Amino acid sequence: MKYLNQHTMKFYSKYCLIFAFILVVFNCSKPEDDNSDDKNPFAASINEYLLGLNYDANTLLDVKDTGGLPNSREIISSSEGNTPPVNGQTSYCSTADYSLDSNFDDVAILRPNLDAIYPGALVAANDRMLQGNPDPLSIEKGAYTLRINLPGIGQNGVLHIQNPSKSVVDTKIDNALQWWYNNSGDNQIAANSVYSSANLYSSMQVSRDIGLNLSWADNNVASQLSFTSNTQRRVATMSFKQVFFTITMDSPESSPADMLGNTITLEEVMARITDEQPAAYVSSVSYGKIFILRMETEYTEETSDIDLSAVLDYSVNVNADYDEEKNNIIQTSTFKLLSIGGNAEVGVSPISSSDFTSGPGGFIEAITGSNALLSAENPGVPIAYTMRFLKDNSLAKMGYNTDYTVEQCDPSANFVHEDVNVENNSYHDTRFYFKYKPAGGNFYLNGPKYELNQGSSTTKSPPNGAYDVEIIFESQIGWGSWDEIGDCNIGHVTYERSYEFVGGDINDHGHVPGCGTD
């Protein structure tokens, strides 16, 4: 009996050792990043808290009422009239002050080294999002899945992310892209190019009209995008977003706690995610390149009324009908191409009319060319991202407002002077004349001399376009010589003026009040 018990004990010991060994082997053979069976014991209470957050997303991110459109603008005030004369020239101008409201849900990356932005990143939904520089949410993060939309990549483009961080995600993406480069064969991916153009009146206005909000830019990018139009030159700008591919994150459906770590407590969540600062996540990132084409032309009679943004549209639309007027403006304009690449570095290249073909769509090859194909030698970089609120996966839309002024002027014309009234109430015969610089000249001329007998008057004005105008007064005693008794510098006669000869006797020429002699 003793022998039987010993034998039985040995058998059970061997069985237990074998079972333990099988468990060890099974656990060791599980994928390193497979913790899908792990559940946070606080998940239910965390979900209840997150789903119960009470905030207004539109108020939080200053969303504007644009009627469902990306932008809306209204005129605040307007005026029209002639500009003050300069060197005998003036223009008739109309001026309008506008208020521009804009909403964005696709954020262009215009800041270098944005560590907070990568697919699936958790961020704090506060005003730093409006600045394009969101704060990373310091909280334990959960696992999630990313998908790369490249043809032929299949399951190699499905990325399961554990212990998320920017370096982990970037490494996974790099490995997947390297597989695609090595195995894509003839699958050359042409960029999905989207362009937007606008006439420039202020840097902030045009940046929002073309979808590259300067509020998101650092100083390096902002300085390159900072330019203005005026009554001497006109500027239009166009943005090109060449998207090679987009990486999207599978949304956490109705369980926001799935985006958080398995050991985080409800108290930790409540300390970091509140009504005042809810959580958002980067739901997608687009990879490609951004180009900005800037066109400048002189303000002339030919260009004063034409829509320059339509000229830019013509330059990239290969299906447009030939337009001689637009073509002529392109030939006489100057262009600069700004490229925003990795880390939002900005390159600036001048383009001349010889760099592109004549006619519609002539710019396409000059701007894109081989840059429009994805390859290991021509990779895409992060250029834009979208965000969603963790609570309900709703799109995070951000609102902005800016005011700007549009001044449109007719070509310069000769200034028309107001009248000058002169009356002779002195005891002598008198005369006067205008001394002036003529339109387009930098030398003085003397105009005709207008004589006034005692008690007479007349009304005259300088020639149109004259500037630096002086009026010279002279008097004659009897049959004697004409002597200058007054010299008034009147510049441009912008309002009606009146002068009077007074006084005088047999030895005194009299004078003109307010106009002495040097």
* Backbone φ and ψ of 139, nearest 5°: -155, 150
Give the torsion sign (CA, 82, 231, 298, 329).
Answer: negative
Residue closest to 292 by CA, chosen among 330, 219, 347: 347
- Cα separation, 109 vs 132, in Å, equals 7
In this predicted structure, what is the pLDDT of residue 303? 67
Q: What are phi and psi of 506, to 5 degrees?
A: -60, -20
- Cβ distance 487 to 473 under 8 Å? yes
Q: Please report the pLDDT score of residue 362 as a whole number.
A: 56
The β-bridge relationship of strands 420-426 and 497-503 is: parallel
- Give the residue ranges of the chain where pLDDT is below 50: 1-36, 342-344, 518
Q: Give CA–CA dist 132/114, Å, rounded.
A: 9
Q: Residue 314: what residue type?
A: Y
- Give the tens place of pLDDT for each residue, 16-63: 444 444 444 444 444 444 444 578 899 999 999 999 999 999 999 999
Residues 199/408, Cβ–Cβ less than 8 Å: no
Which domains are delineated in the chain?
A: 43-409 (3.90.840.10), 415-503 (2.60.40.1430)
The pLDDT of residue 11: 40
Give the whole-angstrom CA distance, residue 490 versus residue 481. Answer: 26
Please report how the helices 324-331 and 308-316 are oriented relative to each other, as an axis angle in degrees rounded to 10: 100
Q: Which residues pair with 484 in a beta bridge?
A: 474
Cβ distance 225 to 14 under 8 Å?
Answer: no
The pLDDT, as a whole number, for residue 15 is 45
pLDDT number for residue 150: 92
pLDDT of residue 380: 84
pLDDT in tens, 281-320: 999 999 988 888 888 887 666 666 677 888 878 777 766 7
- What is the spatial distance between Cα 134 and Cα 136, in angstroms, rounded to a whole number? 6
Q: What's the start-to-end Cα distance of the chain, in Å?
A: 145
Specify the amino acid at residue 164: P
Closest CA to 237 of 197, 193, 289: 197
User: 462: which 2 tokens?
Assistant: 């300088």
The answer for 255, left when phi > 0, alpha when psi is -120 to 50, beta otherwise, is beta
CB crowding 210-223: b at 16 or more within 10 Å, else e = bbbbbbbbbeebbe
